[in-house]
């Protein structure tokens, strides 16, 4: 089929006008089949060009997907599946050869960004990268680049924020919740406990508020020592020290109750 004209229609796209149809393709396809040097295209060659254009189109979409931000190979494979591509090894190999799927670069950038802009700690970062099928050794090398003093500094800031926002729990219960929360974020138990030891929480106001609330609830149902004992039990379950409980109950109920 005779080529009427060829014109560039984008950064890397061309339009080929034939006698009865138009073909839009990519510069890589033009170069592969040396179309600029031809005056005619056979039906067989047109078919090959169309097939190669489909591959080039998917590759171009993959490049655009990668240009938005660094991606892992797993993310690229999932993207290609959304484009209906099952046989993707050729595209993956091509992306690798062009330097778009550099594991070390991705891991380093991932760790830097997540550690800098999220509350996540090293253990969480490690877990998430391993879920993406990255090599354990490469992940460990990336994690090791985070200075321990930076981890401690970040963890201290997170713990301080949690403790300052506590208006409900006893010191022991608050610290237990902070410990569990920080572990879920990916920090080591040893480092969390070491930092928590530096904090002394004054829960006297919280304890008294809680005790008075319970007193109002049970004072019409129980009295005397029985009232004292049920309030003591309820507060002890909330991990308040027994000495503090007895002190505040004495203040609320009165000194006449023996315990």
Give the tens place of pLDDT for each residue, 46-102.
Answer: 889 988 888 888 888 888 888 887 788 888 888 888 888 777 888 888 888 888 888
Tokens of 126: 């490690």
- Do 90 and 56 fall within a single domain? yes
- Do 15 and 59 fall within a single domain? yes
| Domain-embedded: residue 43 | yes
- Do 66 and 33 fall within a single domain? yes
Domain that holds residue 177: 148-196
| Domain-embedded: residue 61 | yes
Residue 254, phi then psi, degrees to nearest 5: 120, 160
Q: Model-level pTM?
A: 0.62
| Domain-embedded: residue 72 | yes
- Do 46 and 22 fall within a single domain? yes
| Domain-embedded: residue 185 | yes
The CATH number covering residue 107 comes to 1.10.10
Instruction: Specify the number of domains making up the chain.
Output: 4
- Do 191 and 219 fall within a single domain? no
Tell me the pLDDT of the chain averaged across its residues. 86
- Do 78 and 155 fall within a single domain? no
| Domain-embedded: residue 157 | yes
- Do 14 and 93 fall within a single domain? yes
Q: Confidence band (pLDDT; 50, 70, 90) for 158?
A: very high
Q: Confidence band (pLDDT; 50, 70, 90) for 148?
A: very high
- Do 92 and 126 fall within a single domain? no
- Do 76 and 139 fall within a single domain? no
pLDDT in tens, 216-257: 888 888 878 888 888 888 888 888 888 888 888 887 887 545
| Domain-embedded: residue 211 | yes
Residue with tokens 């609330």, as numbered in its chain: 213
């Amino acid at each position: 089929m005779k080529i009427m004209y060829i014109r560039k229609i984008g950064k890397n796209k061309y339009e080929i006008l034939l006698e009865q149809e138009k073909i839009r393709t990519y510069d890589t396809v033009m170069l592969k089949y040396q179309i600029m040097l031809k005056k005619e295209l056979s039906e067989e060659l047109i078919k090959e060009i169309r097939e190669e254009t489909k591959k080039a189109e998917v590759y171009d979409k993959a490049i655009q997907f990668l240009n938005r931000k660094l991606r892992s190979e797993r993310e690229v494979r999932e993207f290609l599946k959304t484009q209906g591509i099952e046989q993707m090894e050729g595209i993956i190999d091509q992306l690798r050869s062009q330097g778009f799927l550099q594991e070390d670069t991705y891991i380093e950038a991932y760790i830097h960004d997540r550690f800098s802009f999220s509350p996540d700690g090293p253990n969480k970062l490690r877990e998430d990268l391993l879920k993406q099928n990255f090599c354990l050794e490469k992940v460990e090398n990336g994690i090791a680049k985070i200075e321990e003093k930076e981890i401690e500094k970040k963890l201290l800031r997170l713990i301080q924020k949690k403790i300052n926002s506590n208006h409900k729990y006893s010191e022991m219960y608050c610290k237990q919740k902070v410990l569990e929360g920080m572990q879920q974020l990916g920090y080591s138990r040893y480092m969390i406990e070491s930092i928590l030891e530096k904090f002394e929480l004054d829960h006297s106001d919280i304890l008294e508020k809680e005790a008075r609330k319970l007193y109002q609830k049970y004072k019409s149902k129980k009295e005397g020592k029985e009232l004292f004992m049920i309030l003591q039990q309820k507060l002890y379950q909330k991990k308040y020290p027994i000495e503090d409980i007895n002190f505040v109950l004495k203040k609320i109920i009165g000194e006449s109750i023996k315990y």
